[in-house]
Amino acid sequence: MTDLYDPNRRDPSRDEPDGTAPPATDNRPGKPAGHGEGSPRTTPPDPAPAPDPAHARTGADGGVQLPPVPDSVQSLEPGRVPSGGEDAERIRIGLWGAPRSGKTTYLAALPIAAMQYQRHHEGAWNISGMTPEANAFLSRGIDLLTRQRTFPEASMGVQDMAWSVQGPQKKSKWGIGGRRPNFVLDIQDAAGEVFGDGHPQQGQLVGRLARAQGLIYLFDPLGDANKATETLNFLQSTLTQLTAQVRNRHGLIDGKLPHHVSVCVAKFDHPDIFHPAAELGWVKQDAEGAALPRVPEEQGEQYFQWVCDDFRGANARLVRDALYAYFDRRRISYYATSAVGFRLTPQHVFDYNDFVQPVEVDKKQRLRSSPVPINVLEPLIDLEERVHRDRSRDRRANAWRGRRQR
C-alpha cells in the first residue's frame, strides 16, 4: 500500500505527552511490520551504547577496538508479519464522507461498539490494531470518547490502518456449522477535504476506494444549505473519479460500481434530526436494557429517503439520486447511526426529556455520558458478510468451471 503525504505527520518521539497528536503512519511496502496483537512480543531495542573511550582498547594494528555491541533485539521467537491468523480474510473497506460528517468519530466509536456488542447479542467482537500506529489510533479514540468525553480534532491528510477483527460464531441458515468472522480490515481515516475536487491527494485516496470491496459512506443530515451543497459536491467529485478509475480497469458491473455500500445517516442522536424523526414515527425503543431508540433495520432505506426527500431538501435528493445512479441499489444498505449515542441517565437508561449528548463546556464539545454507539459496528459486520458471500460464490463458480474444463 503506498503512503500518502500527510501534512500532519510528525516525528512521534516529539509528540506531546497528552497523546493528542496523530501518530505518524508508514505502511509502505518493505517497512518491517511492528508487532500486532497475537504476534510474538519482542523487547524494544536498547539503544546501542555509545563507545566509552575509557573502555576502548588499542588493537595490535594500532586501530581502536570497541567493546562488542549487544544484540539489540532479544526475541524468544523470530517475529512474524501480523496476519490476523491463518484463516483471516483481508477486506478493504473505504470510509468516505464530506468534511466534518463524523468519519473519525465513527472510527473512534468502533472498538467501543465492539466491546458493547455482547450487551444486546450473543457473543463478542474484538478489534485490535495490526501495527503499533493502528493500536495507538484505537486506544486514543477510546480514551477521547470515554475518558476525556470529547470529539476528535479535524483530521489532516490520510492515515491508513489495518485492524484485526474477530466476531462470534454465526449459525448457518440450517442451524448447524456456520462460521466465525475473522478478517483483517484495511481502512483509512482521511480529512474530508481530500475527497474534494483538485485536492493533491484525491487521486490516490480514490484509488484506495476503487480497490476496496466495501464502502461506508457517512451522510451528515445536519447543517445549512451551504453544507448540503458541499456534501453533494464532495460526493459527485468522488463518484466521478471512482467510476473513471474502476472503468479503466474494466471493473464496472453492468455499468455500475461493484462495491457493497453501507450508507450511514450520521448524528442520529442530534436533537435537530432526532426530534422530527421521533415525531414522525421512525424511531422504536428497545424493549429492554437502556431502552435505546433506533430506526429498525428494515426501515433504514425509507428513513434515508425521508431525510433526502423531506428533511434535508433538494440537494440531498441529488445525493440519493447519485448513489442510485453509480451503485447497484441491491448492494446498498442504510443505517441511522450515532457514534456517540444518547445521553443516558445515571441508571443507564434513555430519557426522551433529556437525551442530548454533546454540550459545550469552555468552547469545547463534551459528552455528558459514556458513549453507547448506535449502528456503528452493524454496517461493518454487514459489509464483511456481503463481501464474504460474494467471495464464496466466486470460489464455488471457479471450482465448478474448473471441474467442467477437466
Ligand X SMILES: Nc1nc2c(ncn2[C@@H]2O[C@H](COP(=O)(O)OP(=O)(O)OP(=O)(O)O)[C@@H](O)[C@H]2O)c(=O)[nH]1
Name the residues that contact ligand X, by CB under 6 A: 97, 99-105, 151-152, 154-155, 191-192, 267, 269-270, 338-340, 358, 365
Which of 259, 387, 393, 267 is closest to 332 using CA atoms? 259
Task: Measure the CA–CA gap between 159 and 129, rounded to whole angstroms.
Answer: 13
Give me the amino acid identity at 159: Q
Task: Measure the CA–CA gap between 250 and 202, rounded to whole angstroms.
Answer: 21
CB of residue 311 to ligand X, shortest distance in Å: 16
Is residue 155 close enough to count as binding Mg ion by CB under 5 A? yes
CB of residue 372 to ligand X, shortest distance in Å: 11
Which of 155, 137, 151 is closest to 191 using CA atoms? 155
Task: Measure the CA–CA gap between 192 and 320, rounded to whole angstroms.
Answer: 19
CB of residue 137 to ligand X, shortest distance in Å: 12
C-beta of 92 vs 103, nearer to Mg ion: 103
Is residue 25 close enough to count as binding Mg ion by CB under 5 A? no
Task: Measure the CA–CA gap between 379 and 214, rounded to whole angstroms.
Answer: 10
The DSSP code for 6 is: -
CB of residue 215 to ligand X, shortest distance in Å: 15
Of 62-70, 102-110, 280-288, 331-339: span binding Mg ion (CB under 5 A)? 102-110
Q: What is the torsion angle, in degrees rounded to the nearest 10, for the CA atoms of residue 327, residue 333, residue 338 and residue 344?
A: 170
CB of residue 16 to Mg ion, shortest distance in Å: 19
Please say whether the beta carbons of 196 and 230 come within 8 A: no
Cα–Cα distances in angstroms (integers) from residue 395 to residues 232, 257, 398, 401, in the given order: 38, 21, 5, 10
C-beta of 365 vs 392, nearer to ligand X: 365
Of 32-40, 44-52, 151-159, 292-300: span binding Mg ion (CB under 5 A)? 151-159
Q: Which does 141 bind (CB under 5 to 8 A by kind): ligand X, Mg ion, none?
A: none
Which of 156, 163, 172, 115 is closest to 137 using CA atoms? 163
C-beta of 166 vs 375, nearer to ligand X: 375
C-alpha cell, 387? 463481501
Long-range contacts of 287-293 (CB under 8 A, 24+ apart): 289/119, 289/120, 290/344, 290/348, 290/349, 290/350, 290/372, 291/349, 291/350, 292/341, 292/342, 292/350, 292/372, 292/374, 293/342, 293/350
CB of residue 367 to ligand X, shortest distance in Å: 9
C-beta of 170 vs 199, nearer to ligand X: 199
C-beta of 100 vs 320, nearer to ligand X: 100
CB of residue 14 to ligand X, shortest distance in Å: 23
Task: Measure the CA–CA gap between 154 and 104, rounded to whole angstroms.
Answer: 8
C-beta of 158 vs 316, nearer to Mg ion: 158
C-beta of 151 vs 183, nearer to ligand X: 151
Q: Phi, psi at residue 181, to the nearest 5°? A: -55, 130
Strand partners, 253: 256
Is residue 104 close enough to count as binding Mg ion by CB under 5 A? yes
C-beta of 166 vs 202, nearer to ligand X: 202
Task: Measure the CA–CA gap between 289 and 13, rounded to whole angstroms.
Answer: 44
CB of residue 26 to ligand X, shortest distance in Å: 20
Task: Measure the CA–CA gap between 12 and 351, rounded to whole angstroms.
Answer: 43
CB of residue 163 to ligand X, shortest distance in Å: 17
C-beta of 112 vs 387, nearer to ligand X: 112
Chain residue whose CB lies nearest ligand X: 192
Is residue 116 close enough to count as binding Mg ion by CB under 5 A? no
Q: Which does 202 bind (CB under 5 to 8 A by kind): ligand X, Mg ion, none?
A: none
Is residue 128 close enough to count as binding Mg ion by CB under 5 A? no
Is residue 375 close enough to count as binding Mg ion by CB under 5 A? no
Chain contacts with Mg ion (rule: CB under 5 A)? 103-104, 155
